[in-house]
């Protein structure tokens, strides 16, 4: 797959959110699945929206994924999405599937649409049944709206061990029409995608068919959600879902449309923003880490090397400890299973170059250590082989990661 075409027409929306596009309403409430925090959320579009999704490739896919796939298979259209936190409804057998369909039914009744127009998502503890009485009551009491408070209600209802909301909004002019896109996501642990990662929900008022939306989402996913890692574990419930209701009234978008690259970049910016927010909020993380690889044999190798580095526990712990141990970066490169040539690798941490075409060079340990104390760390690797370039994002690995995951269910 080729490199994404970069365009300059994308504008970030100040305080952008899932409600930035026209015609969407959201809400969230505390239904009692969690002790005190909001735990059930709902997105509603005023008109049916062409939709697309990508899902975890985990062998144990949760019941909500099966239900969402069923809804999208029907017509590629959605008008609502219901999501709960606290319980993943995963590895719950026939009862779990029944509960997920019932959850879809409750949401359809709430917004008065046909059941196949509703998607379902869940996140939380695996191997526990949903408390359906609380789910039903929670859906019924959600107050849908278009104010920033309604967006925040939804954005907080989907969180688990996250320490903050993940949200964004962007816009671009297409065919003389301003097209808006907004996103909300959750994700903090179990982040190491083999497709997308976490739960991500994106709304747009663009006019585009489900088929072409799916095409754009699959392409963008490879450069964004597939390029983040926190701890090397994938989840049973990962899903990224996009709803496009067409209310911007632009000409229908397709790969043949002259402004197709603008839409793809709009989607890419939205997904990249959410992906980086997830990486930054990794469980116990203190730093966002970005690895940029250039000069690889091809783009695939570059992205693979970047992700191998950012996912290395040895690299992550060194960054947490502000230890400029570039040998760990070399170690990660050698495990990436690419066409790397070990005799010509250049490595820099920030502006501090430490290895030049595999030759050791003097560098300031003090300057490197000071840089590694910052909360945004960039690593640069030049393979000196070809034109392949790729980026990946992750975080450091701290003592708090163990504390959080040692008591996740409590």
State residue 196's pLDDT score: 34
Give dist(CA 263, CA 121) in Å, integer.
26
pLDDT at position 228 is 82
Q: What is the pLDDT of residue 408?
A: 53
pLDDT of residue 295: 97
| CATH 3.60.70.12 domain locations along the chain | 17-280
pLDDT at 352 over 90: yes
Look up residue 306 and give its DSSP letter.
H
Q: How far is CA 389 from CA 9, 169, 248, 295, in A?
A: 23, 27, 34, 6
Question: What is the mean predicted confidence (pLDDT) over 229-248?
Answer: 82
CATH of 288-406, one of 3.50.50.60, 3.10.20.340, 3.90.1200.10, 3.90.480.20: 3.10.20.340
Starting at the edge strand found earlier in the chain, the sheet holding 376-382 runs: 359-360, 352-356, 346-349, 376-382, 288-296, 388-395
Q: Is the dihedral of CA 14, 20, 26, 31 positive or negative?
A: negative
Q: What three-state secondary structure class fits 289?
A: strand
Supply φ then ψ for residue 224, to 5 degrees. -125, -85
243 within 8 A of 406, measured Cβ to Cβ: no
At residue 164, the pLDDT reads 79
Average pLDDT, the chain: 91
pLDDT at 394: 87
Residue range 328-337: mean pLDDT, rounded: 92
Q: What is the pLDDT of residue 191?
A: 42
As a whole number, mean pLDDT of residues 109-136 equals 96
Structural Rg of the chain based on CA atoms = 22
Residues in Cβ contact with 169 at an 8 Å cutoff, skipping those fewer than 6 apart: 12, 13, 15, 16, 17, 20, 180, 181, 182, 183, 270
Q: How confident is the model at residue 172 (pLDDT cuts 50, 70, 90)?
A: very high
Could you tell me where in the chain the CATH 3.10.20.340 domains are found? 288-406
**Which overall architecture, per CATH, does domain 17-280 show?**
4-Layer Sandwich (3.60)
Q: What's the pLDDT tens digit per position in 205-227?
A: 999 999 999 999 999 998 998 88
Q: Give the active site residues.
A: 197
| Residue 79 predicted with pLDDT over 70 | yes
By mean pLDDT, which of 56-70, 165-179, 244-258 is the weakest? 56-70
pLDDT for 283 equals 62
Residue listed under structure tokens 């969180």: 159
Read off the pLDDT band of 2 (50, 70, 90): very low
94: pLDDT confidence band, cut at 50, 70 and 90? very high
Average pLDDT over residues 33-42: 94
Return the higher-pLDDT residue of 67 and 190: 67
pLDDT in tens, 364-378: 999 999 999 999 999
């Amino acid at each position: 797959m080729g490199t994404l075409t970069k365009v300059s027409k994308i504008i970030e929306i100040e305080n952008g959110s899932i409600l930035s596009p026209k015609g969407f309403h959201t809400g969230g409430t505390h239904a009692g699945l969690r002790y005190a925090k909001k735990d059930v959320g709902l997105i509603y579009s005023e008109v049916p929206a062409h939709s697309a999704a990508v899902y975890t490739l985990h062998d144990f896919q949760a019941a909500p994924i099966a239900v969402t796939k069923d809804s999208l298979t029907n017509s590629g259209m959605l008008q609502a999405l219901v999501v709960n936190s606290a319980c993943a409804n995963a590895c719950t057998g026939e009862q779990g599937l029944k509960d997920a369909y019932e959850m879809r039914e409750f949401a359809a009744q709430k917004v008065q649409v046909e059941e196949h127009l509703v998607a379902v998502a869940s996140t939380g503890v695996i191997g526990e049944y949903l408390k359906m009485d609380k789910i039903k009551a929670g859906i019924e009491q959600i107050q849908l709206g278009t104010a920033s408070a309604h967006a925040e209600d939804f954005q907080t209802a989907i969180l688990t061990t996250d320490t903050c909301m993940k949200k964004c909004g962007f816009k671009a002019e297409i065919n003389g029409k301003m097209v808006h896109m907004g996103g909300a996501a959750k994700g903090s642990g179990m982040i190491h995608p083999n497709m997308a990662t976490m739960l991500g929900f994106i709304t747009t008022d663009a006019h585009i068919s489900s088929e072409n939306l799916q095409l754009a989402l699959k392409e963008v996913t490879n450069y964004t959600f597939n390029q983040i890692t926190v701890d090397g574990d994938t989840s049973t419930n990962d899903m990224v879902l996009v709803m496009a209701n067409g209310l911007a009234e632009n000409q229908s978008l397709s790969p043949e449309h002259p402004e197709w690259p603008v839409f793809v970049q709009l989607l890419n910016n939205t997904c990249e923003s959410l992906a980086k927010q997830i990486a930054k909020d990794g469980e116990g993380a203190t730093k966002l880490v970005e690895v940029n690889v250039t000069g690889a044999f091809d783009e695939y190798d570059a992205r693979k090397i970047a992700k191998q580095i950012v996912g290395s526990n040895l690299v992550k712990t060194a960054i947490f400890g502000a230890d400029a141990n570039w040998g760990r970066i070399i170690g990660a490169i050698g495990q990436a299973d690419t066409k790397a040539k070990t005799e010509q690798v250049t490595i820099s941490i920030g502006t501090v170059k430490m290895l030049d075409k595999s030759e050791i060079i003097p560098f300031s340990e003090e300057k490197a250590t000071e840089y590694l104390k910052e909360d945004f760390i960039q690593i640069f690797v030049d393979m000196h082989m070809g034109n392949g370039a790729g980026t990946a994002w992750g975080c450091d690995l701290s003592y708090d990661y163990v504390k959080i995951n040692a008591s996740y269910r409590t």
